[in-house]
Structure formats: structure tokens, C-alpha cells
Structure 1
């Protein structure tokens, strides 16, 4: 076992490890193209050739295709491990640079007590932990796939904790066999580790695109799925994890930046009205910005940001006037958060759940029950279903809210009585509405949440603008700090 030292860390280039991860991702893509060609080839072979030799040739093609599938899984696994390793080394180097800046260009004294020593120690610790984790995970890649000896896993009513217990009881080879042979049974199950669900969902991605083509779906959804696929193969930014995907109706998806099972801080971002596959790319950009800024402000620990579009978001205003879709989504959000807690590795993560626009109502409905979250955040909210932070199951000082003064949600999503007054002749009603459509404005101090500032010109979508106060506040809340 090697020892991580200051000298070794100083000469380490994280971009080389990120490049190696990208190479493995490209190999997986190439193998995917070959897999796509073998299906039609086997069909044409059976149609044009019969007999014992034909059967043997078809069987050989099938075996080769299965090996290609396994090769893709192993490539993606190597990509995951090396990407996380590169990200950790990047954070370690940031701490090292901060330590060197603290001494003003002078030499760092190893084991001293002067400026920069805390950052120096943290840098070496982060790098050493990443090195050990990568070693342990790479050792499992060599496992030979084998069919599970036991019967099928828990039924669909099992809790995420029970699913996690079952999955952990399988050998690495059994888990790899299930990922290769039964990815659909793994892809959508809360309680199975995110890295494994990512492999299963990536394996199914081409089939889901084909199902959209066969259904003659609208071009917007297909283009949205293609943009998602491109995001998964992106050559820059944090590594993406496809945790869930449903291409029916408007489409649902759950995507993480960085592995939440191995991050100390995890933000779950719940989008609002009109969210779907066609608009998912915008939601991903917002979540990625929070993860990136949190990494800059708090490089000591890993931060993962998740877009949870696991509910049917309203498409039109007449749908958004009802809380029904938020109530339907609340139970799914609770289960997802339970899954994040169950699959997390190491010390418990700090879980934060953020709801934007109608998504804040989903979070509010979920937070009136057993929502596994340490903090909740409401931005650009039309109300969260309750009139006070005291009605939520979290302590009031763990509830945060912000609404930009230029966000039209505070004028458009008012209660029926206030809306009527705004439409009547006479002097206009000015100032933010206290009573919104779905309860008291969570950004009103009277609600009881901790209100943080947003830029005045942010409008409804500006909370994630780089270099602006709202993004910094969201990153700090995710890190467990005061905004």
C-alpha cells in the first residue's frame, strides 16, 4: 500500500486521471455501437440461414454480444472510479494551493503549526482517502459474473433499506450478473447503490430511445433525451450518474453530478412546472452549478447535486393551480431520500432538499411527513402547502427560503382573494404577497424560515446565476453553513 505524501500530491495531475476515465467511457460507447449492430445481424442471419451450423453461428453471436455488454459495464465502472478519484485529487490540490497561498509563497513546513497547516493536512487526508477507496473499488472489477444462487430480490413493496440489505448480501460477481442480464430490474430501485443504477440505466438508454422512435413521440422529448445522453458522455465537468429514467408521457429522470453515495453533502433539486425530458438540460445546468460552487467553497468534502424529476410536473397553469401532482410526487421524493440514506457509504451525509417553483410545493408536502433531509430550501415558491415552518417536520432553523423581488411568482401565484383584488380597478397592490396560492409565502419572515438574499434582477430562474449571491447561498446551505 502506497503512502500519500505532500511531495507526491504536489506533482500529481488530476487531469490525467480524468482523461483516463474519459478513455474508458469512450470504449463503452464504442462497444455500445457494436452491440447495436449485433441484434439486427442475428435477425438477418436467422432469416437467411437454417440448420445446425446456423444455430451454432447465432449462439456464438449471442455469446459475443453478452461479452460486449459485460465489457461496457466494466468500462463504465472504471470510468466511475477514476472520475471520482480525479475529482477528489482536484479538491486535494485546491486545498494544497490554499495552504501555499496562506504562507505567501514561502515553503510549507510539514507538521508545523503555522498558516496553511490545516489545509495542508486536509489535502493529504483527502488524497489518501481517495487513493484507498479507488484501490478497493478497482479490486472488485475483476469479479467474474455468476448467476445469483438465491431467488429474485425483494418485491416492489420492500423499503429502500431492505433492498440495500439484499443487494449488499450478493457477491460482486452476482451483482455484475444482474446488471448485465436484468438491468431493468435494477435501474429504478431505490436502495440499490447509485453507481450500480447508473450502469443499468446507461445500458438501457438506447432501448428507451428506440421505444420513443417506435411510439412516434414528439421531437422535443427525443431531442431532450439526446441532450441527456450527450450530458452523460460530456468530456468536462463532474461525472454524471443516471439514477432513473422513464420516457413515458413527458418523461421523468433522476441525474446526479458526482456520486451521492460517496459524498459528504448531497443536494436534491426538485424542479417545478413544465419540467420534463425536453427541459431537463436546464435543470441539470442549475444543479451542476451548485455542486461546482460548493466544491469551490468547501473542498474538504465531496458534494453531489441531484436533479430529481421523479414526478409528473404540471404542464399548464390550470394544472399548477392544484396540489394533486405535488401530493403524488411527495411520496416518491420521500422514498428517494430514504434510498439515498440507505445506500450511502461511510459517515452519514448531510442531505439537503431544494424545491423550485411548483417543486417547492412537492418538497413542502414531503416535509410534512417523514422526509429524510437535514435541510430544506424553497426558492421562487408559490407556497409550500403550510402556513408556517413549524408545520414541517424539520426544525425551523433548518428551513431556508428566498424569492427575488423581480420573481413574478409572488404576483402571479397569489391566493384567489388577493388575485381578485389585483384585477379590480383602483390603486395597485404593491409588495410581495403574504398569502400565496399554496399557503403563506415561505420568504416572508413571518413564515419562520431562514430567509436569504437573492439578486434583485434574478427573476424566476436567476437563483443559479454564477457569481451572484443566490448561488453562493445555495452552495453554503448545501455545505451546512449559514447562507
Structure 2
């Protein structure tokens, strides 16, 4: 955790003291209302003295806050110990952060990175390589710290889906025996600790698959890693926030120094480093390779942003009164507050990407399931995206595409047959009913790729098939990312600018990518 500043400590102490004083006043007033005794002179003297002391304590709160303001003006980066803290930018606006970093010398930058890697690794606006290096330090430190504290990863299970709260949840407690004399709260904390450690180890395995040999005895982990086709040299740890459970992280696949097609992808409910990271990496590798068919994979980068508190269940079971009859009720995935709380961080991340990307980069917002709904709020809050494509999305929190700050005709959505989530419209209207949104085809069809090869695109069904290799939706989203929108087969209800109905596809093909491009 970052070290507290002296000004911050003074403000915190003043707030805590003010809270305690409020309780003390209430308690004192309750004492004064007690029935008076005949020999109550001593009680009255004590009550009067207490009132005076409470007044002095209130003055102390005021003085502490005045001192905090003075310290914040004169020495904002002074620690409680009196030692100077590493410098920080004036605020967290990515452009401000970028300018602050550019103004420092190489030695000053190195000093900040070594002394404050948690801040550097999460600062939107800093270069990719700098954040990656800082986050690797945080990753190794967190794994070592948790292992030293006695945490064990347990078994876990990547890819399991806790659709129903308390049933089918991934993982087991890290070495907790059923007979241990511990309460439910401690058991829950042990499982959280184990889950976080598993997530950190999986993240390290994604960035350096060789570590999987030492960290994992389960061959399934290595099999999942093999499905991630992006070269190891093009995997970057863009974010790692280990300050709370579940961990927040983001992994970038590609290279921002060469990519002018960049995707910011928001995954859906139940996603965490422990539960879904490996599957997410495989899906986003597929997307990067598919977009690379048009422009070359070296020009495509995908940021998988697990940077928010995702809902952890789809439904919950509750007993009906005293009957014990179970009812299946909507779970956290029907709660909008997870999306609403994610928006400021998502917007800052998107604006940070725009700051560090190459000029003229096509930035596409992407979201699966609940992540598409999160993206919908983000699209309404910032105008940095050039296009958006969601899949299996329960609504974009709008019934009017004009509320989304995306160029006309550049919002796409896929809803597969059998995917009830996409049809529910929990957060606004179902995407296929919103005028102006282009609905991606989900039906099988033949296609000629830019290199001249032919393929039969596979249909999709259900909620988990959109990013499968060879699928028609992966092909469509990949073309959106590449900017090859003439190749996108989609329908659109009449919306802003008129719109067109019916299914359409451009007849022309982009020229093949350069020879060094198509390798994912």
C-alpha cells in the first residue's frame, strides 16, 4: 500500500476524532438526562468539566484540519515519519500524467519507479513498458508476501461459472480442512486469499509460461496457456491492483509502438484473475489474430481490462419464508452499481490509451456480457472511442444510440441464438432493438479472407461462443477492430442518419497485410 502523507494522516486523525466526539456528545447527553440524586453536586461538576473538555476536543479537530491544510500547501509529499515521498503528478488526468513523466530526467523516472511501483503500474498516461516493469515488481512482491504469510493457492478451476451463488463456485479453500475450528468469516477470508494467490500465479504464467512448470502441477493450466497464441514478448501487464479482493488487473496483447488498431475489452460477470483470466487471454488472442488478417497482427493490440469489481454470481437461491422451498432470484449480475462504479476507472483507462497510442489509432471498445453494459456507460461518458462492439450484452443503459459518443454507424452488437442474457434487456433495451446499432450476423456463411484463403464461418450459439476460433462473430468483430467495416455483415434498425434495414456486406476486400503482419 502507498505510504500515507503527513497531510493525509492529519486529515484522517481529525475525521476519526470528530466521529468519536459525535458519539461522546450523545453519550454525555444521555448521562445528563439520568434522574438527579440529592447529593448530585459532584455529578454536576463532572458534567460541567466534560462539556468543557468536549469543546476543547472540538477545537483540536479544527486545529488538526488547519495543520493538514498548511502541510498540504507547503509539503504535500511529506510522509507521516517526516521523510519525503516520491513525487506525484498534480492529478490523475492521463495527459497531465504523461506531461509530468516527460518533464522528469531518466534518473528521476527510475527513482519513482523503484520507490513507488504500485503508483507507476496503475498510472494511466505512462508508457506501456514503464507500467509493465513496475507491475512485474508488484506481482513478484505480492506472490512472495502472500506465500510468506502462509497463503496456499489450493486447487481452483479456471473457466468454471458460478451461475448460482454458493453453488458451482470456482476453487476450494487453500488447505482448509472441514474439521478446522474456524467460523464462516474466516473460511471466506481463507478462500479469498487462496483465490487471489491463484490469480497472481496465473497472471505470472500468462506473462512467463515457464513459471507454470514450478507453480502448477495441474496439466490443465498448461493446456489453457497453450491456447494463448500471442507471442510471450507481446504480453504486457498494464495494471495490477492487489490492494483488495478481488484483484484488479489488465493485460495487453500486442505492442503499442506498432499498433494503430487498439481494443479496450471489458469482460463480464464472474471474471477474475483466478476464474477467467486464461480463457480471456485465449479469446483476446483470437480477436487480435482475426483483426490481424486485415492489417497484420503487429498493427493490432488488445487490452483485456479486468479493472473493476465484476458481479460474482448470475443468480442466487433463497428459501421461500419458513417453507424451505428454494427460489431462484437474480444475482449480482442484475445489479447496475458494479457498472456504475467501474465507469470512472474505465474512462480514465480509455483516455490513457488514447494518450499513449500512436496518432490516428482506431480505438475500439469491446465488451462481453455484463462487460458490454459497463462499456455502454463508458461510451456515454467519453468520446475517445472510434467504434464499439459488444457480444451477449444485456443492454447498454440506453434506448438511443445517439447518447453514445461513437461515430454514426460504428456501434455493433452480437446476440447469438440461445443467449438469454443478450435478449433480456436488463440495462436498457436489448441491443438488437436499439435504432442505429448494427447487429452482427450469427449465421454460418463462406468467406474469402484478405490473403485469398477460403473458409466456412461457424455459427454461434449460447453465451460463451462469440470469440471462438473460426466463428462468424469473431470474424465480424475482428473486421470492426481492423476498420474493415465493408466486410461486416450486419443489420441495422433505422436510427440517426436514417440507417438501413436488412443484412448487408461489402463486396470489396482490403489488400493483404504486409508479409510480417499476419503472424499473431
Shorter-chain TM-score above 0.5? yes
**Residues 1:451 and 2:439 are matched in the alignment:** yes
1:464 match: secondary structure? coil
The structure 1 residue matched to 2:482, chosen from 445, 462, 479, is 479
**Residues 1:378 and 2:390 are matched in the alignment:** yes
Contact 2:395 2:426 in 1 (8 A): yes
Match of 1:202 in 2: 136
2:480 match: secondary structure? helix
The structure 1 residue matched to 2:290, chosen from 290, 293, 300, is 293
Contact 2:288 2:300 in 1 (8 A): yes
Match of 2:119 in 1: 185
1:143-292 alignment, distance < 5 Å: 152-155=87-90, 157-213=91-147, 214=149, 216=151, 217-218=190-191, 219-234=194-209, 237-238=230-231, 239-247=234-242, 248-278=244-274, 279-292=276-289
Match of 2:352 in 1: 339
Contact 1:337 1:371 in 2 (8 A): no
Between Structure 1 and Structure 2, which shows a larger proportion of helix residues? 1
2:466 match: secondary structure? helix
- For normalisation by structure 1, the TM-score amounts to 0.60
What do residues 371-416 of structure 1 show as CA deviations (whole Å, max 9, x unaligned)? Answer: 42111111101111001212212233011111111223145xx3xx
- Gaps (5+ residues) in structure 1? 1-149, 415-435
| Mapped partners of 2:139, 2:199: distance in 1 | 13
In the TM superposition, residue 437 of structure 1 has moved relative to its aligned partner by 1.2
The structure 1 residue matched to 2:428, chosen from 408, 416, 439, is 439
Contact 2:290 2:478 in 1 (8 A): yes
In the TM superposition, residue 469 of structure 1 has moved relative to its aligned partner by 1.2
Contact 1:378 1:402 in 2 (8 A): yes
The structure 1 residue matched to 2:463, chosen from 460, 463, 467, is 460
The structure 1 residue matched to 2:342, chosen from 311, 329, 337, is 329
| Mapped partners of 1:266, 1:384: distance in 2 | 21
What do residues 192-232 of structure 1 show as CA deviations (whole Å, max 9, x unaligned)? Answer: 11111000001121111234443844333322221210110
Match of 1:364 in 2: 376
| Mapped partners of 1:334, 1:261: distance in 2 | 22
| Mapped partners of 2:150, 2:353: distance in 1 | 33
Distance of aligned partners of 1:300 and 1:329 in 2 relative to their CA distance in 1, 3 Å threshold: closer
Contact 2:86 2:116 in 1 (8 A): no
- Bigger radius of gyration among the two: 2
Contact 2:459 2:471 in 1 (8 A): no
- For normalisation by structure 2, the TM-score amounts to 0.56
1:263 match: secondary structure? coil
Distance of aligned partners of 1:252 and 1:151 in 2 relative to their CA distance in 1, 3 Å threshold: closer
Match of 2:453 in 1: none
Contact 1:272 1:357 in 2 (8 A): yes
| Mapped partners of 2:353, 2:240: distance in 1 | 17
Distance of aligned partners of 1:478 and 1:410 in 2 relative to their CA distance in 1, 3 Å threshold: closer
- Gaps (5+ residues) in structure 2? 1-84, 152-189, 211-228, 315-330, 443-457, 489-520
2:388 match: secondary structure? strand
Question: Number of paired residues?
Answer: 309
1:422-433 alignment, distance < 5 Å: none
